[in-house]
Structure 1
C-alpha cells in the first residue's frame, strides 16, 4: 500500500490533519489507529448505560477559528457550562482557584496565605535565575499559598519535585489574582471566575466521543483504518509496518502517538536522538470511572485534592456535564490518580484506597451502591516539563523534520495542551504539508518547531 501522507493515530490531532489536508486538496493520505474506534484518549466508553470519558475532556474554545470549527462539528450537540470547581483541604471545600479563595479555611491557614501573598507585593523578590516552578510559585503567590496548595497539589499531579520543573508550561493554566482579589477572597465568598477554563462546552449526547466521531464522518471512506497498530517505522526508507495492512509506503509522515512510543518503534535513530528520548519524563493517569446509584453525588463539576492522605488529585462529576452520561437515578464520576510513567500499579489496592478516600471526603456515602466501575488508564498522562524536556524535544523534532516526519499534538508534540489547541495543531500541520502559510503564527504553547 502507498500513500502520500501517513498519519499515525486517529485522535484529534490526526483526524484534524487529515480533514484539513482534504480542504487543501491533498487526497492521498491514510490514518492508522490501533484501537477499534477513533478518538484516542479524547474518546468515550459505554458500560451498563453509563458513558465514561478518559477523565474530564472539556472544550475550552478561545481561538476564533477553533471555536467555529468545533461548533460546526458538534452543531446541535453542545451545551455551555459555567465552571463549578472547588478544592478540598483541611476538611473544607473552597472555591477554585485556591489562591483567590481562602475563606472558610482555618484562620491560621488564611493568615499564612494572605500574609505571604502581600509579602510578594510589597517586598517582591522575583523568581530565581534558574527559573524553576517552585521558585516562581513562591515569588508569585508567597510561601503560604505555595505550602498549602501549589506545591502539594502540583507535586501530586506531576509526580516530581517542582524545583526540577520549568515555568514554560504554566502561563495560561495558573491564574494569578491581584492583592485586592486575594484579600476579598479571604473575607468573603468570591464568585469571580478566574482562569482559561471559567466556562466550557461539552456534548449533550455521546460523551466526548461525539467530537472525533463527527470529525471522522467528514473524511472519505477508507482514509481511517482502525484496528491497525503500527509495529515499526523505517524513517530512512519511509516504510511503516501496520497490523492488518502490511507494508505502507509513504512520502511524508505525521506522528500523533506519544513521542516516546513513536521513537521506540521508529528507526534508524542516531545516538543523540536515542539519548534525547531517554531524557523525556511523564506521568501516567490511573483513571477510575464510577457509576453510583444516587441521582446527585456532587453539585460541582470537579474538585481538587492537594493533601497526601487522598490518593487522587482530582475527582470529576461527568453526569454534571451531561445528564446522558448516566442512567436515570444514577451519577457518573471519574477519579484521577497520578503515578510516574511506567510504574506498576496494584489497581485492586488502589481501588480500595480510592473508595475509602471518597467516603472520607464525603463524596460517597456509606450506603451508596457502586453499580458500575471501569478502569480507563492513560499511560502517558502529563508530560513533565523538567529542564531536560525542551532541548530534548527540539533535538528530536529537528531530526525527524530532516526525514520528512512531523510529530504533533499533545502527545506527539510532547506538551501540555487542550483539545482546541490539538485541533489547531492538525490544521497548522496540514498547511505546512500543503505548502500554505498559516493565517497566523501558532499560539504560545503550540507544538515546538525544529530549530533553524
Structure 2
C-alpha cells in the first residue's frame, strides 16, 4: 500500500511516526512550508526571541502521544502549574471566571449570582451555542464574560454555532460551589485538563515536532505545496511540477481547500464546503528589554479595550524563549486576535493596536512601550475551525465520499472538528487512521470516543 501524507503538522507527523514505528516502507510525507510542525511550529526572530503560533500548552489524554513526546524531548522540558486569569472591569479574576466571580466589583458580582439563581430553560432544548450559554450561565456571566469573550474568539455570531462541541472546553456551573467560594473567599483554580502542562526548554512548541520527525526526515519533502489531486488517477500534483501517485492519501490540508483542489468532485460535495466556517488569527509577539515579575501563564480579555482575546507571558514558559536564555533581562508576551468576515482586523495596524490594548489593561506601562525591541507578526488564515450549525451535515457528506475514493482527511482542519483539535488529538488522529488502514481498527478520536 503506497501511502501519501499531505502536511507535516501534528496529524501528518502522527501518521508518519506510526508508520515508521510499524515498519511500513511505502510512504512519503509532503509539506508546503520549509519546516515541520504546522500550526505547532515555532520561530526564532532576529532579536533572539522564540515565538509559537499562538498560546500552545502541552497536555495529553493519550499514553501513545506521551511516549512520542518523551522520545522527542527526553528530559528537556519544564512542567508548569497553570496560572490563568481574566482581565475584566480593571481587575483580575482567576480562571475559570464563573467559579471565581467573588473578585468582581459588587454590582457585577450580584448580577452574576442572580443570573445563576434565576436560570430558565434546559440546555438540552437549546438550538445553538448562544442559547445554551443563557440556560447554563445566566444573564450576568453571559453579559460580562461569556458573550463578549466568545465573540472575540470565534469572530462569528454565536447563534450560528452549535452547542455540540462543548465537552471539556467550557467549565459549566455549580451554584452551590460558587456561593461557597464567595462566602469563604476561596479561589477555585483547578478545573480543566491543562491545569498542569509541559513546555520544551528550547525551541518552543515546535521542538516537539522537530524531535518527533528526526527518525524519518528522509521521507519528508518540504516546499511541496499541493496544487491539484486527480481522484481517478490517484495522483497529487504539486506547484513545483512534481507528481506523485498513491494507493491511499492522508490529507491534513483544510478540508474546503482540499475538496476544491480535486477534479471529478461531485457538485454536492463541493457545495457542502460552504457550511465549513473558519476564522483567521493575528499573533503578535512583543519582546521587551528588562525583566517582568508576573507569574501568570496566560490571560483572557473579553472587553473591547483591546483587540486580542488572549495574552501569554511567553517568557514564563521557558527562559530560552528570550535572548540568551535570560528572563531576568528580557520578557515576551504573545497576543492573539481573531479576524473573520464578521470581525475584520488589519495586519497593518494590529501591532500598534495590540500595544495600546496592553497599556489599556495595565499589562505594560507607557514607559515599557519604549522598551519593545522585537515586534513579530504571524498571520494565520486558518486559525479555528468553527463548530457552525451546518458543520456536521457537511462532514457527513464530504468525509464518506472522500473515503470511498481512498482519501482520509484528518487533523485540526482536515477533520474540521474543533473539539478534537488539540495537539494530542491531532497527533492521535494520524496514528489512528494508519491503524485503520493497516489493521482495520476503529478510529476513536475523530468520532469522539477516545
Q: TM-score, normalised by structure 2?
A: 0.93
Within 2, Cα distance between the matches of 1:243 and 1:342?
32
3-state SS, counterpart of residue 306 of structure 1:
coil
Contact 2:415–2:446 (8 Å) recurs in 1: no
Within 2, Cα distance between the matches of 1:71 and 1:117?
44
Contact 1:128–1:135 (8 Å) recurs in 2: no
1:431 is matched with: 435
3-state SS, counterpart of residue 294 of structure 2:
coil
Within 1, Cα distance between the matches of 2:446 and 2:403?
21
Change (3 A) 1:6 1:111: same
Within 2, Cα distance between the matches of 1:138 and 1:90?
21
Within 1, Cα distance between the matches of 2:250 and 2:26?
13
1:337 is matched with: 337
Within 2, Cα distance between the matches of 1:50 and 1:15?
26
Within 2, Cα distance between the matches of 1:233 and 1:145?
48
1:37 is matched with: 35
Contact 1:169–1:445 (8 Å) recurs in 2: no
2:375 is matched with: 373
Within 2, Cα distance between the matches of 1:119 and 1:294?
49
In the alignment, structure 1 residue 420 sits paired with structure 2 residue 421: no
3-state SS, counterpart of residue 316 of structure 1:
strand
Change (3 A) 1:86 1:55: same
1:79 is matched with: 78
**Any stretches of 5+ residues in structure 2 without a counterpart?**
none
1:201 is matched with: 198
Aligned length: 440
In the alignment, structure 1 residue 192 sits paired with structure 2 residue 195: no
Contact 2:95–2:189 (8 Å) recurs in 1: no
Within 1, Cα distance between the matches of 2:189 and 2:10?
32
For residue 304 of structure 1, report the CA deviation from its aligned partner.
Answer: 0.4
Contact 1:342–1:379 (8 Å) recurs in 2: no
Change (3 A) 1:261 1:53: same
Q: Which moved more, 1:42-51 or 1:292-301?
A: 292-301
For residue 443 of structure 1, report the CA deviation from its aligned partner.
Answer: 7.1
Within 1, Cα distance between the matches of 2:337 and 2:357?
12
Change (3 A) 1:9 1:272: same
For residue 68 of structure 1, report the CA deviation from its aligned partner.
Answer: 2.9
Within 5 A, what are the aligned runs for 1:234-383? 234-244=230-240, 246-296=242-292, 298-327=294-323, 328=326, 329-340=329-340, 345-368=345-368, 369-383=371-385
1:51 is matched with: 50
For residue 261 of structure 1, report the CA deviation from its aligned partner.
Answer: 2.1
For residue 344 of structure 1, report the CA deviation from its aligned partner.
Answer: 6.4
In the alignment, structure 1 residue 407 sits paired with structure 2 residue 405: no
The one-character-per-residue Cα deviations of 1:380-437 (angstroms, maximum 9, x if unpaired) are 1111111111110221111100110000011111121211111111110110121242
For residue 52 of structure 1, report the CA deviation from its aligned partner.
Answer: 0.4
Contact 1:291–1:373 (8 Å) recurs in 2: yes
Q: Which moved more, 1:181-190 or 1:307-316?
A: 181-190
Contact 2:347–2:379 (8 Å) recurs in 1: no
3-state SS, counterpart of residue 164 of structure 2:
coil
For residue 235 of structure 1, report the CA deviation from its aligned partner.
Answer: 1.4
For residue 372 of structure 1, report the CA deviation from its aligned partner.
Answer: 0.6
For residue 345 of structure 1, report the CA deviation from its aligned partner.
Answer: 4.1
3-state SS, counterpart of residue 34 of structure 1:
coil
Change (3 A) 1:344 1:110: closer
Within 1, Cα distance between the matches of 2:123 and 2:343?
33
For residue 22 of structure 1, report the CA deviation from its aligned partner.
Answer: 2.2
3-state SS, counterpart of residue 217 of structure 1:
helix
Within 1, Cα distance between the matches of 2:394 and 2:238?
28
Contact 2:123–2:135 (8 Å) recurs in 1: yes
RMSD over equivalenced CA pairs, Å:
2.0
Change (3 A) 1:34 1:61: same
3-state SS, counterpart of residue 247 of structure 2:
strand
2:23 is matched with: 25
Contact 1:78–1:201 (8 Å) recurs in 2: yes
Q: TM-score, normalised by structure 1?
A: 0.93
From 204, 208, 215, the counterpart of 1:211:
208
Within 5 A, what are the aligned runs for 1:118-129? 118-120=117-119, 125-127=121-123, 129=125
From 176, 183, 196, the counterpart of 1:180:
176
Contact 2:94–2:189 (8 Å) recurs in 1: no
Within 2, Cα distance between the matches of 1:446 and 1:289?
36
